[in-house]
Chain A
Amino acid sequence: MTVLNPTKDTGATSKASPLLYGEPDRLVTDELLAEQLQIDGVNAPFLADLLSAFVTHERCGRHLYRSVAGRTNNSMLKQRYEHFGKETEEHVEILETLITNSGGSPSYSSPMARAVEAQDAKLLESTFLGAGTLDLMTAEMAMLDAVFAAEALDQANWQAMDQICESLPGGPIQEQFRTAVDRVLSQEQEHFEWAHGTRAKLTKLQLESSTLAMAGEKMEEMMAKVRSWFSSD
């Protein structure tokens, strides 16, 4: 079962730092990470930190997709968000399995993961905290932009995973990384290309329409327009 929010109950750990407090058994060091991830030829603590950041981004992605799927007014977007959200949760599971099989802990939250989580949290918050003055169409675009930005990083992460495969020594761990990359990278490319393409399509759609999002337009009319996006696709 995937963990979307590591907590003490799920075995969460973090890296010891003078400014990050924790119970001693919750704090890990680079030396301990190196012992856990016994992979020759790579900087194991860095790899542990990186994988923690990658799985964190997928976890945040799952939350983002749940959020936008629940708030979009367009059925096609909703369907895509739900579908990609499920795939993103599978990616969490794949990364958790990889980390575990490599000797690491999927509940380890690295400093890099904290930075990623902070970025992703703000990205998600940007879709609603300041959205009160946005018309429906702009709000939809803001959600799509967040998905686009998240998927851009996601794709880059899995491209980095592809590179990592090449740096790993031959053996079962490398094979597992390769299998994961082969399965996920193409999905990530699809997610990114969809977000990229849909963003372009919506931009064009609004650009060529003289009536969309006009000041004073009635809410029902605007809602109807958002709902009808892609209806001819």
Chain B
Amino acid sequence: MNPMEEAGIPVEEQIRNWSELNTQPYDKASVDPYTRTRVILMNGIEVESVMFSHQFARHTDQMELKRALAMNRRVDAQQQKAVNNLNPGDQTPLETTIGYEQVAVDLTSWLARNEKDPMLKQALDFALLEDFDHLYRYANLYDLLDGKDASALTDHLTEITPGRPSAVQHRHPYDEVRGHYDTHTVDPLSRLHVMTIVAAEQQTMNFYMNHGTDWIEPIARGLYGEIAMVEEQHVSHYESLLDPLDTWLRMWVFHEYNEVYLYWSMLQNESDRRIGQLWELHLQMEIGQLHAACDLLRRFEGVDPEEILPVSLPDTPVTFEPNKAYVRDILANQIDLRTDGSAYVPVDQLPSDHRYFGFQRRVNAGGSPMDLVVEENVRRNGGERRDETDGPNPISSLAPHAA
């Protein structure tokens, strides 16, 4: 499908009324876990679109551009409401959080499996192990606070077991900055992968930094705060991968193109017919938004969009599916990987006076809530919460804590 050859819906015709935005939520008891992850992902994509548009608008006083951005942004903000309202009110923030981590694990894994650039793949694999660990930490909080099993939400599609241990995930900010792809040589799919993971991780960070205060229990507030800081690291890590050579207008076009690609992807795999219709509607809307951005690129930069866009959408849709073997393999082979500047190095190659260790001593001085939540769950419930469907954790040192 080449979105440049599709008509889409003109942006001016995309404004919806309040009831259209107040979409009927899915049933949390019967929803396909991957429908929940699609909703979470596309909410994050729309949030990124809105915030990018605001940033762009703050860097220009050109009225034609500002008005076009305002128009487009209003529609994106409406799309975000329509998507996010699919989350039901009886789905607690912690249950939504477990959905966020299922997104992080299965989205990151899928992107990494389909990534051709070895350094981009490495970036995905590296952070994957930490998000995988977060799912385990939140599952234990869910057990501890609510006495419930997170696998009822993940439906055993994603394993729940420790990843790269929590306390060692904290790195000095200098070691969170990577190199980036080259906007000319990058594979179109790689560009979309990076844009997608930046948006997803950013929304995860936003969600945790705002929902940590939903709890009275200090352990929950501490856990959200600590993981929110790791997500801040991940956003720094992933956004480094974007080539800053792209202009504001080109970035806008790429954002719209990615949204077209993702709604098309969601549509290919959606099991809920009603929600599939929303993806279809938003796909047509995004095509219209892409055309609007392309017109401005032509007019203000003299660039034909066809010069920078591929001749058709990548034929591989982003797909939520189990990635258990892949995650296990990365865990077995990369658990000891750390970063030193922009490079990835085994932890035993870091000198003992490396800033990595000093930073951890500082932030972990009073203990790590990510560790404490598991210890407390063991103490309270006699064991930790895991869902190891394919056997014990491949790392022997990550065997369950004794009660």
Contacts and interface: CB of A to CB of B under 8 A. Distances in A.
Interface of A: 4-9, 12-14, 17-24, 26-27, 62-71, 107, 109, 114, 117-118, 121, 124-125, 128-133
Contact of B311 (A9, A67, A131): A9
Given A8-B187, A128-B65, A20 B180 contact: yes
A20 to B, nearest CB: 5
A12 B184 contact: yes
A231 to B, nearest CB: 26
A67 B185 contact: no
Contact of B301 (A7, A26, A67): A67
Given A4-B307, A23-B116, A131 B62 contact: yes
A118 B244 CA distance: 9
Contact of A21 (B241, B245, B299): B241
A130 B118 CA distance: 39
Contacts of A26: 182, 185
A214 B307 CA distance: 41
B125 to A, nearest CB: 14
Contact of B184 (A5, A19, A69): A5
6 contacts: A7-B308, A8-B186, A19-B179, A22-B181, A130-B62, A132-B61
Interface string B159-183: 0000000000000000000011110
SS class, residues of chain B in contact with chain A:
loop
Given A20-B180, A21-B181, A124 B301 contact: yes
Interface of B: 59-63, 65-66, 116-120, 179-182, 184-188, 241, 245, 247-248, 298-304, 307-308, 310-311, 342-343
Given A67-B300, A67-B302, A125-B247, A8 B185 contact: yes
Given A63-B301, A109-B182, A128-B300, A23 B187 contact: yes
Contacts of A24: 118
Nearest to B247: A121
A196 to B, nearest CB: 22
Given A14-B182, A19-B179, A62 B247 contact: no
Given A18-B179, A63-B301, A109-B182, 9 more contacts: A14-B184, A21-B182, A22-B186, A23-B185, A26-B182, A66-B302, A114-B182, A114-B245, A132-B61
Contacts of A66: 302-303
A129 B117 contact: no
A67 B297 CA distance: 9
A232 to B, nearest CB: 30
A156 B60 CA distance: 31
A64 B301 CA distance: 7
A66 B116 CA distance: 35
A129 B60 contact: yes
Contacts of A20: 179-182
A26 B186 CA distance: 9
B247 A63 contact: no
A121 B183 CA distance: 14
Given A18-B342, A22-B182, A23-B185, A132 B63 contact: yes
B299 A9 contact: no
Contact of A133 (B61, B117, B185, B241): B61
A107 B247 CA distance: 20
Nearest to B115: A23
Contacts of A8: 184-188
A17 B243 CA distance: 14
A59 to B, nearest CB: 9
B112 to A, nearest CB: 14
Contacts of B310: 7, 9
Given A22-B185, A23-B185, A132 B60 contact: yes
B341 to A, nearest CB: 9
A114 B181 CA distance: 13
Contact of A14 (B61, B66, B185, B298): B185
B248 A129 contact: yes
A73 to B, nearest CB: 14
Contacts of B179: 17-21
A117 B337 CA distance: 36
B109 to A, nearest CB: 20
Nearest to B56: A129
Given A129-B248, A130-B61, A7 B302 contact: no
Contacts of A124: 247, 301-302
Nearest to B246: A121
A13 B245 CA distance: 15
A182 B179 CA distance: 42
Given A21-B117, A67-B302, A109 B185 contact: yes
Contacts of B298: 70
A130 B182 contact: no
Contacts of B301: 63, 67, 124
Contacts of A129: 59-62, 65, 248
Q: Which one of B118, B181, B298, B301 has the greatest number of beta carbons of chain A within 10 Å?
A: B301
